[in-house]
Chain A
Amino acid sequence: MTSSSASARKALSKIACNRLQKELVEWQVNPPAGFKHKVTDNLQRWVIEVTGAPGTLYANETYQLQVDFPEHYPMEAPQVIFLHPAPMHPHIYSNGHICLDILYDSWSPAMTVSSICISILSMLSSSTVKQRPEDNDRYVKNCRNGRSPKETRWWFHDDKV
């Protein structure tokens, strides 16, 4: 997803705005371990720094997550991608798209930015090999026109990593 198409998105609804403000407060009081969010005046896009957990393949490495919230958050899932360079991981494409069910079909309004972050860190931590998904090149080529990962029809059937 390119930044241009994300910013063209509709403004947050009132209910989304309220909810995000509450999430922001909660984050400030109780940030998930391993994550830093530089608070800006842009409530609709959060850029979050993630540091690999000690003792894992990504220990001491730092990456950036970009979280874009749709008009009808939290009924709709946020769009979450890694900014360049994305970590080498069997479920993370070189364009930053992440194959993780809770970001798409299994999203629920019961989740929060914080719980997403914890899931992503857990996904990184359980990886045993630093490599791209096998179909990386084909997928990334397909996304060249700036397609959002939310428009991808994901198939989740590997639960080992």
Chain B
Amino acid sequence: MENKEAPLEDGEIKPMSVSMPDLDEWGNFGDDDIMQQQSAIQAEEAKKVPFIGDKEPLSSLEAEYQSGSPILLEKIKVLGEHYAAIRRTRGDGNCFFRSFMFSYLEHILEYQDQTEVDRIKAKVEKCSKTLQTLGYLEFTFEDFFALFLELLDCVIQGKETSISHEELVLRSRDQSESDYVVMFFRFVTSGEIQKRSEFFEPFIMGLSNTTVEQFCKSAVEPMGEESDHVHITALSDALGVPIRVVYLDRSSCDNGGVSVNHHDFIPVADDLPNASTCAETNTPYIRLLYRPGHYDILYPK
């Protein structure tokens, strides 16, 4: 990755094992009210941004930095040359998976690409086999897989169960449904990482100094654990879907000019789709905007 501000914040791993409460910390919150207040504040914050927001013009991003860094404002201008709109997602640690979910399903809905649906279904079937081979009991993941496949069928029009774009937004905002799909992607990601553990091991060691299996248990499978390039690579490979991540950060180029870096996650060669819409151009149709610690969806011009 050429980006200087690699998503370190995302790589933070919580300690793995059984532990003791910190004594000093206990003294700080003897009062139950503090806990309740904290979760109330969190809930309040969360409500401000739905899981999946409305599509907004890129100017709304500019407005956010009006009094901020000039470099960022410059970069947003450059971004504006290629992108027209942004759709924000809630910053709850699941934003990468949630962005991917919506972006992917929206693409299928828009293009009615049955070939892609068939292709990804075969991939999902493979992912299920992978998890079983790894020793996961089917009942631990089947409900999550089933919900994704159901949504996938729903976005193809002309059936009794078909849903409109509006409904897709609503369902992506519905906590139980949305979280189940996020969890489906977490299973798929975890399975892919463990299946190719020798490939992912060096990256994981660099991030967290844990084993591949521990990493999956602590940084992939629990909800709310943030994603970085390991997760993105694994998900993209497992499902055979290319993903572009555009980086918006304060880093500047050596020559003084301002440019916006992006990285394309292209699925490993033998898994590239043959007949899918993205094959001819190889440009990912999933485009995400990364700002340190957070992913949103981008729409091209």
The A-B contact count (CB < 8 A) is: 113
Does any Cβ of A come within 8 Å of B217's Cβ?
yes
The 8 A CB mask of B9-46 against A (1 = contact, 0 = none) is 00000111111111101100110100100100000000
Given known A101-B15, A101-B18, contact A110–B221 (CB-CB < 8 A): yes
In the complex, residue of chain A having the shortest beta-carbon distance to the beta carbon of B142: A22
| B interface residues with partner A (beta carbon < 8 Å) | 14-23, 25-26, 29-30, 32, 35, 38, 136-137, 139-141, 143-144, 176, 179-180, 183, 186-187, 190, 217-218, 221-223
- The reply to whether A110 and B15 form a contact with Cβ atoms under 8 Å apart is no
In the complex, residue of chain B having the shortest beta-carbon distance to the beta carbon of A16: B143
| A interface residues with partner B (beta carbon < 8 Å) | 13, 15, 18-19, 22-23, 26, 72, 74-75, 90-91, 99-101, 105-112, 119, 123, 133-135, 138-139, 142, 145, 147, 151-159, 161
Given known A108-B217, A109-B140, contact A75–B223 (CB-CB < 8 A): yes
- The reply to whether B221 and A156 form a contact with Cβ atoms under 8 Å apart is no
A-B CB proximity, top 8 nearest: A156-B19, A108-B221, A155-B22, A22-B139, A159-B17, A108-B222, A158-B20, A158-B19
In the complex, besides A110-B136, A110-B140, 7 extra interface pairs with C-beta distance below 8 angstroms are A74-B140, A100-B18, A105-B222, A106-B14, A109-B183, A123-B18, A154-B19
Main secondary structure on chain B at its contact with chain A?
helix
- The reply to whether A154 and B21 form a contact with Cβ atoms under 8 Å apart is yes
In the complex, residue of chain A having the shortest beta-carbon distance to the beta carbon of B222: A108
- The reply to whether A156 and B143 form a contact with Cβ atoms under 8 Å apart is no
Query: Which among B20, B35, B143 is the interface contact of A157 at CB below 8 angstroms?
Result: B20
- The reply to whether A139 and B217 form a contact with Cβ atoms under 8 Å apart is no
- The reply to whether A107 and B222 form a contact with Cβ atoms under 8 Å apart is yes
A109 to B179, CA, bound (A): 11
25 A-B residue pairs with Cβ-Cβ distance under 8 Å, sorted by A, are A13-B176, A75-B176, A90-B20, A99-B20, A101-B14, A105-B222, A108-B217, A108-B221, A108-B223, A109-B183, A109-B221, A110-B217, A112-B137, A133-B21, A134-B23, A135-B21, A138-B26, A138-B30, A142-B32, A153-B38, A155-B22, A156-B19, A156-B20, A157-B15, A157-B19
